[in-house]
Structure 1
Amino acid sequence: MRYLVTGATGFIGSKLVWELLQRGHEVVALVRNPRKSGALRELGAEVRHGDITDRSAVVAAMRDVDGVFHVAARYKIGDRDKQALYRTNVEGTRQVLEAMAELGIPRGVYTSSIAVFSDTKGHIPDESYRHEGPFLNEYERTKWIAHYEVALPMIARGLPLVIVMPGVVYGPGDTSLVHTLLRLYLRGVLLAVPGGVTYSWTYVDDVVEGHISAMERGREGESYILAGPGVSLREVLRVASELTGVPAPKLEVPPRLISMASVLASGLERVVPLPPLLASETLRTIAGTTYLGNSAKAGRELGFSPRELREGLEPTLQYEKSRL
């Protein structure tokens, strides 16, 4: 089969390209930054340059493919450029899905996120749950719009699309807030952990497998949560300490204190730019929040079977340590 992958230089997209090529498929990789395309060419992917917000570039890359993996997204918490998040996550998704419809592409997989649920407040929702706001950060909001106001209406009009909703994705090569926290921990400068923060930790290779299964086996029009085990950040660092010998932080910051700091940061950032880790929306996002999802449906229909935290955390920590 011949597939187009958007976001092919990203954390999930690059590993998806590699796995598809390993399985004998042809891959067209849509790449925004030409300087990042060398590794994809070496793997054997056909590289096309262009931005997903550019309809002509998307259509040109999409011609003659059997399916589309729309993985591209802008994932930055504390990002001051809110318009860039909207352009990529909403308008970019609209351009890709409309191009699919225009060209009559027979199959597509769109990468949404359980972030569209926002803070699940300890609950573990399935695909039937729908959060209606408010949102803690602009990433949640723009992914919600792309999911519910772009993808689902196009599915209702007949677009042959499957939606996958990963949990918090981690693994070697990650560049997210999780990566930053793990590096701070390994350097011994993470003095405290935000209390109550709990994620569905999903190893990147399992997410890639879920994408491919969704393309091959998923029911058109359905959404599938790809979520690993729900584990608190405090427990993650305890396991990390067992694996590395680096002591985990003993202090835990109460969610109420982080919420108060978020309010203060909101006032400060009107006057002076704050680093992403101290931005008000970052603090809101880690104030005792839980990002959880029930992947039972993906298990039944896609064979999705995420690994336990320790199994994925060990190679992740080894990778991060090698790059300190």
Structure 2
Amino acid sequence: MRVFVTGASGWIGSAVTDELLAHSHEVVGLARSDEAAAALEAKGATALRGGLDDPDGLAAAAAAADGVVHLAFKHDFTDYAGAGRTEHTAVRHMLDALEGSGRPFLLASGLASIVAGRTVTEDDPSPHHGPDSPRGGSENLALSYADRGVRAVALRFAPSVHGTGDHGFVSTLTAVARERGVAGYLGDGANRWPAVHRSDAARLVRLALDRAPAGSRPHVVAEEGVPTRDIAAAIGDHLGLPTASVPPADAERHFGWIARFYGMDAPASSARTRDLLGWTPTGPTLLADIAAGAYAAPEATATR
């Protein structure tokens, strides 16, 4: 299968590209820079220079592919609403190019703020609709094409897709701990983050591309919910720093932009996903990765 992958050189996308190539798929990867394009070409993928701000180019690439795995997103926390509108436009153009084809369109989505007070399941619809909602309402936009001849699938990723080299949330928390001299958590730290190892996430994406049905919402989740106080304790133990509670009123001052996510309680089940796709996670847990030094390098920080 010729697969167009956006975000193909990113943290998750590079692992997905490797997984697809290893299973005899042809990958055309979107690359925003010469460096990213060279890395993709070195793997045996075809690089396509461009970005999410070129919806017509994305549509053309989608139309030329046998399937699309859309993993890219502009993680601009200074203009998150604008990033959502860009996402909505990009997704709509790719879906329009695939309409009536029966080809797969897999979209990276998230688990935060879907439901409150209980574990999220694959049956829970996203409450976000329209370009001005979180991530541009792209999950519901994509799934609306399931009745328009597209095998649209929403991949709901855990907030922590972890492993050595991760520059995401846990890396940022580790950097904050180094800067503050304490590994913090908010309040009592009982709120939970789902987690999945990067290798398990890539394998699930490949399985979903092969056989996830239109309109499904696979949960890319290995651990249903790791308490944030345990995450902080693991970071503190590895860095030799104390662990302490941070009052919610001081969250933004202490943690910066990540505070809005760190305080969420978002446990999520993947039981139906495992049954549907025959997926069994085998990678290390989040706490094991932290203890093993996956976030040891001071330079592995900050941006996502």
TM-score normalised to the size of structure 2?
A: 0.83
Which residue is 2:247 aligned to? 254
Distance 1:63 1:131 in 2: 27
8 A Cα contact 2:63 2:98, kept in partner: no
8 A Cα contact 1:52 1:96, kept in partner: no
- Pick from 253, 256, 270 the counterpart of residue 278 of structure 1: 256
Is 2:151 the counterpart of 1:160? Answer: yes
- Pick from 78, 81, 84 the counterpart of residue 80 of structure 1: 78
Which residue is 1:2 aligned to? 2
Which residue is 1:147 aligned to? 139
Alignment of 1:110-189 (within 5 A): 110-117=107-114, 120-121=116-117, 123-130=118-125, 132=127, 141-143=133-135, 145-148=137-140, 150-168=141-159, 169-185=161-177, 189=181
Q: Which deviations, in whole Å up to 9, do the C-alpha atoms of 1:94-144 show, x marking residues without a partner?
A: 122222227x362222111112516x34x21202224547xxxx99x4236
Distance 1:92 1:39 in 2: 24
Which residue is 2:50 aligned to? 50
Structure that is richer in helix per residue: 1
Is 2:221 the counterpart of 1:227? Answer: yes
Distance 1:167 1:29 in 2: 23
Amino acid at match of 1:171: G
Which residue is 1:198 aligned to? 192
Which residue is 1:269 aligned to? none
8 A Cα contact 1:186 1:321, kept in partner: no
Identity fraction in percent: 26
Unpaired runs of 5+ residues, structure 1, are 266-274
Distance 2:136 2:196 in 1: 20
Which residue is 1:26 aligned to? 26
What is the Cα deviation at residue 19 of structure 1? Answer: 1.8
Which residue is 2:36 aligned to? 36
What is the Cα deviation at residue 83 of structure 1? Answer: 4.6
Distance 2:136 2:111 in 1: 9
Amino acid at match of 1:5: V
Q: Please state whether the residue corresponding to 1:117 is helix, strand or coil.
A: coil
Is 2:280 the counterpart of 1:302? Answer: no
What is the Cα deviation at residue 323 of structure 1? Answer: 4.6
What is the Cα deviation at residue 212 of structure 1? Answer: 0.6
8 A Cα contact 2:186 2:262, kept in partner: yes
Q: Please state whether the residue corresponding to 2:196 is helix, strand or coil.
A: strand
Amino acid at match of 1:94: R
| RMSD over aligned Cα atoms | 3.0
What is the Cα deviation at residue 187 of structure 1? Answer: 6.8
Distance 2:15 2:111 in 1: 20
TM-score normalised to the size of structure 1?
A: 0.79
8 A Cα contact 2:236 2:242, kept in partner: no
Amino acid at match of 1:299: R
Q: Please state whether the residue corresponding to 1:98 is helix, strand or coil.
A: helix
Matched pairs, number: 293
What is the Cα deviation at residue 311 of structure 1? Answer: 4.2
Q: Decide whether aligned partners of structure 1 residues 238 and 97 sit closer, same or farther in structure 2, where only a CA change above 3 A counts.
A: same
Is 2:88 the counterpart of 1:90? Answer: yes
- Pick from 82, 103, 107 the counterpart of residue 106 of structure 1: 103
Q: Decide whether aligned partners of structure 1 residues 97 and 33 sit closer, same or farther in structure 2, where only a CA change above 3 A counts.
A: farther
What is the Cα deviation at residue 206 of structure 1? Answer: 1.2
Q: Please state whether the residue corresponding to 1:165 is helix, strand or coil.
A: strand
Unpaired runs of 5+ residues, structure 2, are none
8 A Cα contact 2:55 2:89, kept in partner: no
Q: Which deviations, in whole Å up to 9, do the C-alpha atoms of 1:128-174 show, x marking residues without a partner?
A: 224547xxxx99x42361112x1122123232122211111222332
Amino acid at match of 2:162: Y
What is the Cα deviation at residue 314 of structure 1? Answer: 4.6
